[in-house]
Structure 1
């Protein structure tokens, strides 16, 4: 029987992956051990809720695009046939507030937020721009914005643009390539001139996990707002926006939430901040009494004031069946398995890959990472290509020399991790990657 979602994390981890004896920690676990872990996995049955079209391919890139939930095609087909085909414009009576209703599901299941604080909207980039601009307007007279120079590019570009447009100072702290940004380093960049701090909870390259509560506390001491990018965290690690006193957040739904390519992102605004923030895109979906078509813009009181245009209903709908799976699993059990999978992968990498020039490029402690880890090798791009073309292992590459291994717990098996590492070892040992060009493709 599956443990309840409130099972203490330490107990849940023990149930999934007992820690090896100290003397065995340096050896590679056997495939038999992987099979035993799969047999005991309390989330193992959820794999059947996803479309696995090619069982021979090992998919370790769900941190970029999650698998297709088996229920999604039928759900969308019904929406198209009944909602659009039969209901026509009358279906807007159901669709009109869908962004907020799905937002409330996200708030309750994966974000630790209160009802009315989350809405599905636009892309992560657009949401980050809207909330960052609103936050800067709410801190007039302050001249600096702080962000990580190693963070995901779209976050940096948007903040650089806002700083240039407004004559602000862009204070870039630079996290280590393989570990999390240090709190002392962040604290040294903060003072009472900082209006906004923008950071990712889980780093896109290394998987390093920040301490949300501590970052919020540091910024709050200087009166600065914090905007979190949760894209590589949501659905893979427990998040408590309310409990940590978080101000603002954005994130995507197509990675660990499995909402599909093009699925809308979400935004979060702490309830107490709503009335003090006005986003820069004054669209009709954020307008009070939107069908009265008033002459002047008067935003609604709720989180919908941060919406802009008509939502993409078909893309938004795919998030619903994906959340059904998350709801069955419970984020705490997802996290427990993620810790176990990550620890298992690191043990294999240490035992098998070090002699081939591979080094762990993520924090070593499982609890210091999200659900993906990075391995560094001088030929990481060519290795990534060889794995996909000749070993049926799909992962991804990130500059400068990182092979990124994503292990979404809802459908990743321990035997898949074992087999993938074994195939990676073979690709490195016989150097078959040398047959591939060093020139990266557009999509890596």
Structure 2
């Protein structure tokens, strides 16, 4: 087994670490899959915006560049990390709002196509927001939820989805990377199964965008949603994104009709007329400030290359598993051991992990905790070193044995 120093010396992406605030400190950050570190350049970009764009241009900024910011940044995001053509992605709102808008639009469109399609298929270990939104929409629209019971150490398999979908399925809602186990779903294969049943599919990309290669167009995905504050380092509460395949945009009616999605937003007319294309899925005023940190991060991702980022991610999580086997034999690894089936984080199980996590935070080692007994470490490839992984897991071993 190579040492952390050897792995860091051989890491082709090691130099990117210096671009993140605090990465050179002794703090061990194991929560990049919940909130990424800020880039050093973000402080300058925000300050320049306040002085020049906001302070200098004031309301003129809307006419000059801000109105198109959601679609312009959406196209950049699509090109850099989503494997999608232009005109299908827009940045706005929060993940929960996007889930509601796109789930609701999808089931309504399917109901118009075929009134017998009354089921939403999703798994019991999907992220809570996804499940909660689906429950609310089912109540609103008189639909049924069909649950796939999954192993919380894994995720939805093709066989499970094949058994769950039917001629009654309107929509399938799945996560590309499971938030608890890091199970990496076969997005292309599962999408084909949903389509073969005549259903639409919505992918949650929150734990994969910026860490795992995504090919939305090649996979023939219908809809996708993701946040930008994890591996895309957009900052706390940064806006989410929504993807709607071009072939569906004219058919879907989004349910939160706001002025920004109107064909003529400044006409202030008496009725709503949706804009053409992806812009119709906007609702309210875009969060311009919240979009700024992503610009530099997308440039960094493009420079490094998503395939190289994925290779570093696999190396980091594999090293974490190897260290855990050696240093923490009493701990169970509940993420897939095969890196081809694992996203960018690893979860370990022990009954005392809640108290261990609290003590680790006191000593500047920052993982997060997930019931039951799960200590989750999210290793953001561009800002995490192998030495950081080694130091953090040594601290876990010390605290577990105190």
**Partner of 1:314: helix, strand, or coil?**
helix
Q: What displacement does 1:218 show?
A: 0.3
CA distance in 1, matches of 2:356, 2:24: 21
> Bigger shift: 197-206 or 379-388?
379-388
TM-superposition CA deviations, 1:283-321 (whole Å, max 9, x none): 111110211222221111110100000011111222212
CA distance in 1, matches of 2:376, 2:46: 31
CA distance in 1, matches of 2:298, 2:45: 13
**Partner of 1:97: helix, strand, or coil?**
helix
**Partner of 2:381: helix, strand, or coil?**
coil
TM-superposition CA deviations, 1:190-241 (whole Å, max 9, x none): 1011000001000001111000001110000111000010000000000000
What's the counterpart of residue 16 of structure 2? 46
2:74 pairs with 81, 89, 103, which one? 103
- 1:33-432 correspondence runs (5 A): 33-52=3-22, 55-92=25-62, 93-140=64-111, 141=115, 142-354=117-329, 357-390=330-363, 392-429=364-401, 431=402
Q: Which runs of 4+ in 1 moved over 6 A?
A: none
CA distance in 2, matches of 1:118, 1:60: 30
Q: What displacement does 1:185 show?
A: 1.1
TM-score of the two chains, using structure 1 as the length reference: 0.88
> Bigger shift: 282-291 or 230-239?
282-291
CA distance in 1, matches of 2:75, 2:379: 27
CA distance in 2, matches of 1:76, 1:262: 15
> Bigger shift: 98-107 or 315-324?
315-324
1:59–1:393 contact (8 Å) kept in structure 2:
yes
Unmatched 5+ residue regions in structure 2? none
1:49–1:325 contact (8 Å) kept in structure 2:
no
Q: What displacement does 1:424 show?
A: 1.2
**Partner of 2:38: helix, strand, or coil?**
coil
1:285–1:309 contact (8 Å) kept in structure 2:
yes
Aligned length: 397
1:177–1:206 contact (8 Å) kept in structure 2:
yes
- 1:6-21 correspondence runs (5 A): none
Q: What displacement does 1:54 show?
A: 6.5
CA distance in 2, matches of 1:318, 1:55: 21
TM-score of the two chains, using structure 2 as the length reference: 0.97
**Partner of 1:198: helix, strand, or coil?**
strand
Q: What displacement does 1:180 show?
A: 2.0
CA distance in 2, matches of 1:293, 1:310: 14
Cα RMSD between the aligned structures? 1.0
CA distance in 2, matches of 1:271, 1:165: 27
**Partner of 2:167: helix, strand, or coil?**
coil
CA distance in 1, matches of 2:280, 2:292: 21
> Bigger shift: 417-426 or 151-160?
417-426
**Partner of 2:391: helix, strand, or coil?**
helix
